[in-house]
Chains A and B, each alone.
Chain A
Amino acid sequence: MSWADLLPPFILGSSLLPGLVIFFLPESRRTLRTALNLASACLKLVAVAVLMAVVATGGQPRWEWSLAPGFDLALQADALSLLFVTLSAGLWLVTTVYAIAYLEGAPQRSRFFGFFSLCVSATVGIALSADLLTFLVFYEILTITTYPLVVHRGTRRSLAAGGTYLVYTLSGGVLLFVGTAWLTALAGPVDFASGGATVDTLIHEHPGALRAIFALLVAGLAVKAAIVPVHGWLPVAMIAPAPVSALLHAVAVVKAGAFGILRVVYDVYGVQAATDLGVLTWLAGFATITILFGSLRALVQDDLKRRLAYSTVSQLSYITLGAALATPLALTGAVVHLVHQGLMKITLFFCAGNLSETLGVRRVSEMAGVGRRMPWTMRAFAVAALGMIGTPPIAGFVSKWYLGAGALSSGDGWALAVLVASGLLNAAYFLPILKTAWFEPARKAWPVSSGRLETSWMLLLPPLVTAALSLLVGVCAGVDASPLAWAGRIAREVFGP
């Protein structure tokens, strides 16, 4: 039990404990709350960096805790989990800064930041979980702790949205629960490190059961991964405050679903078993439908956040498609898209938040000439939007490139066609926004910003940072520490050198 083994629980606790403290802070203690938030975010980032160093030198930290007979929690750091933890930790810091500014003067902030920390702890738990049971535990906790954030405003509409969110995610939770219990009953504890060894032993006696279990697991995960037909909650949940939509509904919650599908396909079943059972074709089918459906729906949405939500629905299924194609290049594309899409989408939501917070602009039709009033926000929005469409050298292009190459290498030409079509649809619903924002005259006089900047610096800095990151990650994708290189290492681990 070297000190490194304590790193995963430390990372988990670095946001959990301050979160519990924040719950009981009276509303008036603003500075202490902000200090706690930022300190825990930075501490987590540092701890993740240390963990990365340990894993890079070949360490395999693993920590276990027995909850009951035959029921142990286990946290472990392998390459895939590190990628997701780094993404979560990094974006949590940025979003915390943004949330502090966004919620200035709002009621119940202690409750908000308490649950906000719990959410991130759950996401980190999902990332670092070493077996399917631990994943299920944190997956369910994430569902429960996200609800109070979705309904934070306490209005009738937000409660209705919260209700829809619960119906979807809890039903998904039950499916995942039954699937995990069934697999554990058949094969004992399902460890991720085994890379599908547990399932290989069963594939001959219980092929039917394994297919049913795969269906249950993926159905449960599909809810959070917003795969059609269980994606309905995501656009509705956009009523939540911007930081929640940004971090949770663009990064943490939805990525948990996609991350889970990657784990199930590659670490629970293993590529060989999954292809033998023939379940991947179903997965690819649903992913394709979602990609096209999401993009089509996004075209007709006038509300900016709903359009971004449908864009998320579509973009997420790139990861699922990549996973389903089961080739090294496609897997690299899927894993790297996990990071790139996170960076780009959070930028877009930050900008959307800025527009609604500063100018009260929520609809695309109201965005005429907003580029002149808030130039920096719209520049970040433009970078992220172009990235989403796939224009080089922004991050989106890299992941689409690898996904396309993966599709070709496995002979699924149709997948490349889907990606291209989706790229065109992305352009169809992002470019008009840029056009109205930059090239149309402002229809009404925007309220002049009081300070030197277009809005408070804590609202402006996060989108700029994430936009710069999207650019940076795209430009120096070849660098060894880049997400692409990291994804390549994961793919090599899975498929062998």
Chain B
Amino acid sequence: MTSLVLYPLAGVVALALGLAGLVTRPHLLTKVLAFNLMATGASLLLVGLGHDGTASSDPVPQAMVLTGIVVSVSATAVALAIIARLSRLDPDGVERSD
């Protein structure tokens, strides 16, 4: 039982916090933060589970998480572009997204 088990667990907690934030927080930017948090949490789980500190780390999850990070930043950019456009068309709508 190495202390490295804390990272995947932290990842899962981050996932939960992100999900809660995404669902409950009205401000759109906070929602974007929330889903980035979820993505990082899931990535921590993906890499963290495989690493028990003994043998060399497994490159496959690392490659996958690298792809995940790039995909997340692309998704964030699209969301933020839409939010910027929305804030111009409907200034008050940005917070009250039902």
**Within the complex, are A and B direct neighbours (CB within 8 Å)?**
no
